[in-house]
A and B are shown apart, each in its own frame.
Chain A
Amino acid sequence: MNGPVILDRRSVLAGAGALIVSFSLRGASAQEQKPGQGPELPGSLAKFPYLDSWIRIDADGRITAFTGKAELGQGFRTAFQQIAAEQLDVAFEAVKMITADTKLTANEGYTSGSHSMQDSGTAILHAAAQARGLLVAEAARRLELPAETLRTENAAVVAPDGRRLGYGELVAADILHVQAQPTSPLKDPQNFKVMGQPVPRVDIPAKVTGGAAYVQDMRLPGMVHARVVRPPSYGAELVELDAAAVEKMPGVIRIVRDGNFLAVVAEKEFLAVKAMHALAAAAKWRESARLPNQNDLPNVLTKLPSQDFAIFSRNDSSVTGTRTIEATYTRPYQSHGSIGPSCAVAQFADGAMTVWTHTQGVYPDRQAIAEMLGMPQPSVRLIHVEGSGCYGHNGADDAAADAALIARALPGRPVRVQWMREQEHGWEPYGPAMVTRLSASLDAGGKIADWNFAVWSNTHSMRPGGAGALLAAQHMAKSFAVPAPKPLPLPEGGGDRNAIPIYNFPNAHVMHHFIAAMPLRISAMRALGAYHNVFSLESFMDELADLAGADPVEFRLKHLDDQRGRAVVEKAAEEFGWSRDRKAPPNRGHGFAFARYKNLAAYCAIASEVEVDRETGRARLVRAVAAVDAGQVVNPDGITNQIEGAIVQSASWTLYESVAFDDTRITSIDWQTYPILRFNAVPDSIKVHIINRPGQPFLGSGETGQGPAAASLANAIAHATGKRLRDLPISRKKIKDAIDA
């Protein structure tokens, strides 16, 4: 991210008439602006303190808000628009949002870790509030009135005598090209009109009427269609290719080969698909991959060399345990399983590469693609366009690289690449397999006296930054090596995310065994290690509650000091109708779980009722009740939608999902071989209760449900069957075998 960024944002965005030509990226590194001295600014303002990185007002009154984050279907485009509209005192519809684009928006890294609200939402909140303050000040100057006497409404500053100055009239020179101040004139939440409301999502109308809503829907003039032929397995080498017949196929424009990278370009999409099949048949590969035994993963993982970190230690020798239990929990590799295979459009023209992509990080992916192509970063522009939901690092970045590499071979022509189903399933970087070992002791009073938690895991991010993260770059003749994996730093962590207990155990020790070797291609998947760690921790809490003869909810509360945590636990229990005797209908069980995502983001407690068919082992989530505290609520329906989705998706992961492979190849390559939840397993009801915290910081809620949903379900299955199942997925067969045992 070095070198100057020379951008003319005005010509891109505004056209004539805008008085504000300044842009916070002007003449500075897009990576990070130098903030002024003083206390750290809130959210992403800390890195990009200029207000006009976030809010732009044109002379004609048009208002634009910017985010470097990518809308992935979480709905934050709408939430950010609400924030900007609220703090600027304009109608919701008056704000236009611009999302991740290396030419237009700040470098906010990845859209990940439930950080969007916290980073970008917070920046927009403060930038908008300060912008309004500047507009009021400017109006006060012009009207020669004290600022305190002025109010704002509907995109204008209004004087007590009724005189109005529209925002467009007020913007002049560079009044928003100033650095943010540490404090902002935020509106009193009591007066919110837009924030806190379930404003309908701005992206949904196009999505339900056939509008162009996705990168898959892009059609540029002269666009051609490409398909990639991937190797049959990791590391396979293309040893023979007789492409003559494919080149002669009607409509085929070009075969692009670079080492082990192979693709075909055709005028029409289905011709490209046919040519891809023909090309695949004409290619011979030497395979060398040696994949581990998928039925012995826990052993394989724990025997690999690891770097061991004691990440938490608390000691109180005055408390000792009397009864000790231990348990091991495992998780297989799991797939993001996007419904739409990854897609990108790229165009190489006049020495510049433009890529439209559903990457989660336009800047890091630009860096990687520029390195792969040997181009300076400023000559490469990445524009985020929505794709199918990704839930982490799926094939998006790789498809963008594929498109760029192919487009370079066809200067001038836009190239659209979409992966095939088997490519998305077979080549995406999976959520890593994990092993956790827990032991704990109860004291004489039935409280946890000591707690030991150990987790074995790979890194949880192999996202781009360097070219080596991209498949195309790995497969090129002049290939880029996969960068060395690194553990993600605490306090957020990766494999150890949420490994540190939120509970007040007097003695607690947490070990992170970081495994550098990656038998399968892996990277970030929704919630990272928190999914399995919370599943383990919260399952084990139930095992300990059983040992103590205690009610699981009371047992948790007994160990929980965090007041906001207690509040969601109590709320979920109450709304669920949790009863101490846990009387469930026949064949049903009740389960409970709680976590605060990363111990930093949103709080979430979930109570579940599950039905288990004792003959078949089929478990079905019947109903779930969640309570969530995501700080100040911007769009309650957005949060509800995220938590509902987390519960259903986590149920699918937890009951069904594991990536299958043989000695050499990935064999989970479609929905036959990687089954996920279908409508016949959808719960009867899901209820989400939000505890709003007006004035408190935003806490991301996009991932907070994954872990609690899994543990709550597992605990309910244990309650229904009397059997504790610790190996994910908790499949029908495992449940049946446990019942029959």
Chain B
Amino acid sequence: MPTTAPPLADATASDSALRRFLHGLPGVDTVGLEARAAALGTRSIKTTAKAYAIDLAISMIDLTTLEGADTPGKVRALAAKAVNPDPLDRTTPRTAAVCVYPDMAATAVAALAGSGVKVASVATAFPAGRAAPAVKLADVRDAVAAGADEIDMVIDRGAFLSGRYLKVYEEIVAVKAECGQARLKVIFETGELSTYDNIRRASWLGMLAGADFIKTSTGKVATNATPANTLLMLEAVRDFREQTGVQVGVKPAGGIRTTKDAIKFLVLVNETAGEDWLDNHWFRFGASSLLNDLLMQRQKLSTGRYSGPDYVTVD
């Protein structure tokens, strides 16, 4: 298990040390960041590159259902879709994972047994994270016990915004300790952190605490993943690896619905963090409707005809 390398060990020694470290990170100029993200969004990805990108994107999806109305039936249907996204074309890659609430994790584990598709479970009183620490940890233990391969936790945004960084850090460390073999994705809810400076600080805080992935958002607020906030997080994992040798994954979630969007994110990965992240072990999309759009575009590439929603499965 990766541990924080010596150069940064001091950063988490105390609340004030952590604050000094996070506030000492270079600032982010909003206009410049967004302009860079927009410029990369104009890359034109055609033919063979598009085919590669579509299959890669499908393989990176955490196919997600996080609704109060979720049932075992719904989760099983989603699992079937993850394993066999396009019944008309068995060469279609499987998605990376299925992402559910903890009480659905066991159902997902059973449905996906032997498929290679991982089970991700949200935890820590997702999406608000407003529960007692013990409750949050119990939530994680439940999910891990049910067999989840990955835990998507939310940070305490209230603590973060009020400057209690060490509290946020310690909570992540505690959750990580409960994860066992499961990989930990740390959700910042970037829409609530509001500023890019905060997103950069949260990224480093999460990585220092042992996150295996840093993830933009829950999908439950107005602003979720954007090219700019994902670009910023990709810069963070790139810089963190250069300083510590530890590679951390990135997961934009929420609001990525079209193939065009997904390809823009892959361009960001390619030209910011680099090709080491072009793999579903290091980059994921938290999405649901994205998959069908990718499948229709994939069908277009193989048949030359535009597809329609009647030619993909609706679950």
| Genuine A/B complex | no
